[in-house]
């Protein structure tokens, strides 16, 4: 076998961060697409320059960083602008994700979890996942949590929820579902069961050794070239 990828997603206020916290406690390799998305639009990056070109300097904070809330308001109401932003940022995000996947492969992880909020909306990514996991909660709980978390009224919460693919629809695509409608302990037990199914006791010793040999070989080649040109 080889290291495999597990796609993790959910819906707004469905409790995905709770599940990720438990996975990290277990020592799982988790790549957060949201964190990467913030990193690739930092000032002086390639994506940053392109975003300013198409969206203007009005979306900047005083420190020169992109105001995510202001940009979010633009793309929330204008689908064509959302597609444009995605065409700028997604290639950069994917490149960084690939780098991190390689790192975890070298370290010998059995599997890597890709935390991607819109995994099921962008069907192209699911074909690279051996398994997909949906963090689900029932619609009334989702609505109540969003209203409480973001200080929204019912109409505002419904508008945010309806901008995403319904959780019931995503549930049809997922190979595993973690129901976060109950309390934290119930969710934790489900995550532990999932982790036990995905993990094994060998931790891919052969993969670590093979990758380590490749890295060691490359390091030796670099040292050889350095000595050659220095001398």
Domain topology for 1-29+110-200: Rossmann fold (3.40.50)
pTM of the model: 0.79
pLDDT of 211 above 70: no
pLDDT tens digits for range 157-176: 998 898 889 999 999 999 99
The contacts of residue 14 (CB under 8 Å, 6+ apart) are 135, 136, 137, 142, 167, 180
Q: Where do the domains of the chain lie?
A: 1-29+110-200, 39-108, 205-230
Taking the C-alpha atoms of residue 28 and residue 38, their distance in angstroms, rounded to an integer, is 22
Q: What is the pLDDT of residues 62-108, one digit of tens each?
A: 999 999 989 988 997 798 999 999 999 999 999 999 999 999 999 99
Q: How many C-beta atoms surround the C-beta of residue 56 within 10 A?
A: 10
């Amino acid at each position: 076998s080889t290291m495999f990828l597990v796609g993790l997603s959910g819906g707004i206020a469905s409790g995905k961060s709770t599940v990720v916290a438990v996975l990290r406690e277990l020592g799982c390799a988790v790549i957060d697409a949201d964190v990467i998305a913030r990193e690739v639009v930092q000032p002086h990056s390639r994506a940053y320059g392109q975003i300013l070109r198409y969206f203007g300097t009005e979306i900047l904070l005083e420190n020169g960083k992109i105001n995510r809330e202001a940009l979010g308001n633009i793309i929330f109401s204008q689908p064509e602008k959302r597609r444009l932003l995605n065409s700028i940022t997604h290639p950069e995000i994917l490149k960084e994700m690939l780098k991190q996947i390689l790192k975890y492969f070298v370290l010998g992880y059995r599997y890597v979890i890709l935390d991607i909020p819109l995994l099921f909306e962008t069907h192209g990514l699911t074909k690279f996942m051996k398994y997909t996991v949906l963090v689900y909660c029932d619609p009334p709980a989702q609505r109540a949590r969003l209203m409480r978390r973001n200080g929204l009224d019912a109409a505002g919460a419904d508008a945010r929820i309806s901008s995403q693919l319904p959780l019931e629809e995503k549930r049809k695509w997922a190979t595993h579902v973690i129901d976060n409608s109950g309390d934290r302990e119930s969710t934790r037990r489900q995550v532990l069961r999932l982790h036990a199914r995905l993990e094994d006791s060998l931790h891919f010793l052969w993969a670590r050794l093979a990758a380590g040999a490749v890295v060691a070989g490359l390091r030796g080649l670099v040292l050889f070239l350095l000595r050659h040109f220095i001398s």
